[in-house]
Amino acid sequence: MSTSHIFSAFDEELKFLMRRISEMGGLAEQMVADSVRALVNTDVALAQKVISDDAIMDATEREIGDKAVVMIARRQPVAADLREIIGALRIASDLERVGDLGKSNCKRVVAIQGTGIPRKLARGLEHLSELALQQLKEVLDVYTTRSAEKAKSIRDRDEEIDAMYTSLFRELLTYMMEDPRNITSCTHLLFCAKNIERIGDHATNIAETIYYMKTGAQPEGERPKEDLTASVGAIKE
Amino acid sequence: MSTSHIFSAFDEELKFLMRRISEMGGLAEQMVADSVRALVNTDVALAQKVISDDAIMDATEREIGDKAVVMIARRQPVAADLREIIGALRIASDLERVGDLGKSNCKRVVAIQGTGIPRKLARGLEHLSELALQQLKEVLDVYTTRSAEKAKSIRDRDEEIDAMYTSLFRELLTYMMEDPRNITSCTHLLFCAKNIERIGDHATNIAETIYYMKTGAQPEGERPKEDLTASVGAIKE
């Protein structure tokens, strides 16, 4: 077998990994969007669909993991080729967790069923998820184009999601204080909001991984990602 | 250089990875235990220490990642040796997240400062963290002994933590319903309880990774891990 044959087989295998990761990314986006629709419309059937989609995510992550180990053992890649495979493993792990967060939202649909979500809270959740999905979509585009600069810039801005999440957090607390009957459903919505905010963390992780794949280094400087609600103390009632 | 020399250098490098992972594991346990002490005693100085310890966890995970890539590129391991390195990467990632969860608890210490945690809730948090830490400790012991059977059995029992978490979840909701002034602090404690419960998830992940390192396969069957509170609906007031 000629060297070019070996390279070409390796390239085919890399393309396979990239294709699978794109598929996982697409499904993760769909699951998160569907989970918010299911919450807002208390659509139990849609929630059930997202919950069952999670098995596809798990199986694909496993497939990528198995393939990656076989590729490393057989092709013995070094430098950028090796980082490409290690990076695929990390990104698959982050996307699998995004799927888990969508599934977690959907499991709460049944708990809040019948209570009805005030329109303002529903809009807040939708807006938060739009921001998180936008960030996820951009980072998946960067995965295709491999721009280290773009990857760094995604990692460096996450403040909008954090601000939106903090505002929703405060609003949910206010609803709970106004009427104790809101406490159970608002608690579930708090966890859903947190789940969506965490999608931003995973997008940031993926951006860091892409930067690493491209440069072999980690982006410098403290990660800007913070949960600002941790400092929300007593709220005026 | 003789073959035995190469093997021995590789073994030394593997030992280095194992040592670093044990160190991460020890620090992760310490951070979680300290975070609960800081919460229960609203000890801001201790919380601050845990928050700064997180930088050590991040740096060690990065060091393990860099070392692993160099080892794969230089030694070109296959089969069990390769799984050992891939496994170290995964375990380091789970331990880094456990550290994050400890840090997240500590960031909430300031928010609940001055409100005082009822003794019963404090006991609940302590008990939950004891169970989670016990599971983490066991899985770290299994990492040293490499018993695939033991790894599978850890993965297969997590119900005690889930039951404890669900009970604490219900109790926190009850406190909120009794007095709206409890809502803000109890919300933060809810997130802390969830953080501790998630440590059980990471212990389960690590158990699965050890099983994979040892056998090359994933444990079969559905993961028993569930957040049972997702089905906690309206609670009697």
What's the pLDDT at B12? 95
Q: Nearest-CA neighbor of A102 among A145, A132, A76, A73?
A: A132
Residues in chain A within 8 Å Cβ distance of B188: 230
Number of helices (H), then strands (E), in chain B: 8, 0
What's the pLDDT at A235? 36
* Rounded CA separation B185/A58 (Å): 36
Superfamily, domain B3-231: Phosphate transport system protein phou homolog 2; domain 2 (1.20.58.220)
Compare CB distances from B187 to A107, A181, A190 and report the shortest one's residue: A190
Compare CB distances from A187 to B107, B108, B173 and report the shortest one's residue: B173
pLDDT string in tens for chain B (237-residue length): 455 666 689 999 999 999 999 999 999 999 999 999 999 999 999 999 999 999 999 999 999 999 999 999 999 999 999 999 999 999 999 999 999 999 999 999 988 887 778 889 999 999 999 999 999 999 999 999 988 888 878 866 678 898 999 999 999 999 999 999 999 999 999 999 999 999 999 999 999 999 999 999 877 765 655 677 876 763 332
∠A160-B187-A102 over CA atoms, to 5°?
A: 55
- Closest residue in chain A to residue B177, using alpha carbons only: A180
* Rounded CA separation B48/B55 (Å): 12
How far is A93 from chain B, CA to nearest CA, in Å? 9
Residues in chain A within 8 Å Cβ distance of B206: none
| Residue extents of the structural domains in chain B | 3-231
In sequence order, what E strands does chain B have? none
Residues 6+ apart with CB under 8 A from B84: B14, B17, B77, B213
Categorize the per-residue pLDDT at A123 as very low, low, confident or very high, splitting at 50, 70 and 90: very high
Q: Nearest-CA neighbor of A196 among A109, A131, A116, A122?
A: A131
- Closest residue in chain B to residue A233, using alpha carbons only: B111
Q: Which candidate in B66, B69, B106, B204 is best for mutational testing of the A interface (most A CBs within 10 A)?
A: B69
Residues in chain A within 8 Å Cβ distance of B237: 180-181
Q: Nearest-CA neighbor of B200 among B172, B173, B227, B167?
A: B227
pLDDT tens digits along A187-210: 999 999 999 999 999 999 999 999
What's the pLDDT at A236? 32
Q: Which candidate in B60, B76, B82, B183 is best for mutational testing of the A interface (most A CBs within 10 A)?
A: B183
Position A40, amino acid: V
How far is B95 from chain A, CA to nearest CA, in Å? 15
* Rounded CA separation B87/A87 (Å): 15
- Closest residue in chain B to residue A113, using alpha carbons only: B233
The share of chain A scoring above pLDDT 70, in percent, equals 90
- Torsion region of B78: left, alpha or beta (phi above 0 gives left; psi -120 to 50 gives alpha): beta
The share of chain A scoring above pLDDT 90, in percent, equals 75
Categorize the per-residue pLDDT at A237 as very low, low, confident or very high, splitting at 50, 70 and 90: very low
- Yes or no: is domain A3-223 CATH 3.30.590.10? no
Q: Which candidate in A72, A113, A174 is best for mutational testing of the B interface (most B CBs within 10 A)?
A: A72
- Quick one: tokens of B218? 């994933």
Secondary structure letter of residue A76 according to DSSP: -
Neighbours of B228 (CB within 10 A): 15
pLDDT (mean) for A203-230:
81
pLDDT (mean) for A54-59:
97
Q: Write out the residues of chain B at the interface with chain A, using a CB-CB cutoff of 8 A.
A: 62, 65, 68-69, 72-73, 76-79, 82-83, 86, 89-90, 93, 104, 107-108, 110-111, 113, 115, 173, 176-177, 180-181, 183-184, 187-188, 190-191, 194, 218, 227, 230-235, 237
Q: Which residue has the higher pLDDT, B50 or A154?
A: B50
Residues 6+ apart with CB under 8 A from B171: B120, B121, B124
What's the pLDDT at A82? 96
* Long-range residue pairs from B116-121, CB within 8 A, at least 24 positions apart, any chain: B116/B42, B117/B39, B117/B40, B117/B42, B117/B185, B117/B189, B118/B175, B120/B171, B121/B168, B121/B171, B121/B172, B121/B175, B121/B186, B121/B189
Q: Write out the residues of chain A at the interface with chain B, using a CB-CB cutoff of 8 A.
A: 62, 65, 68-69, 72-73, 76-79, 82-83, 86, 89-90, 93, 104, 107-108, 110-111, 113, 115, 173, 176-177, 180-181, 183-184, 187-188, 190-191, 194, 218, 227, 230-235, 237
Residues in chain B within 8 Å Cβ distance of A115: 234
pLDDT tens digits along A26-42: 999 999 999 999 999 99
Residues in chain A within 8 Å Cβ distance of B72: 72, 82
CA–chain centroid gap for A189, Å, is 18
Helix, strand, coil share of chain A (percent; to 5): 85, 0, 15
Q: Nearest-CA neighbor of A195 among B111, B205, B227?
A: B227
pLDDT tens digits along A85-116: 999 999 999 999 999 999 999 999 988 887 77
- Quick one: tokens of A4? 């070019």
Cα-Cα-Cα-Cα dihedral sign, residues B90, B159, A46, A34: negative
Distances from the Cα of B207 to the Cαs of A73, B157, B160, B202, B211, in angstroms?
A: 24, 11, 17, 9, 6
Q: Nearest-CA neighbor of A68 among A96, A95, A38, A90?
A: A90
What's the pLDDT at B159? 81
- Calculate the average pLDDT of chain A: 90
Residues in chain A within 8 Å Cβ distance of B227: 104, 107
Buried/exposed code over A17-56 (b: 16+ C-beta within 10 A; e: otherwise): beebbeebbebbbbbbbbbbebbbebbeebbebbbebbee
pLDDT (mean) for A137-153:
88
Categorize the per-residue pLDDT at A60 as very low, low, confident or very high, splitting at 50, 70 and 90: very high
What's the pLDDT at A113? 80
∠A201-A132-A143 over CA atoms, to 5°?
A: 70
What's the pLDDT at B234? 36
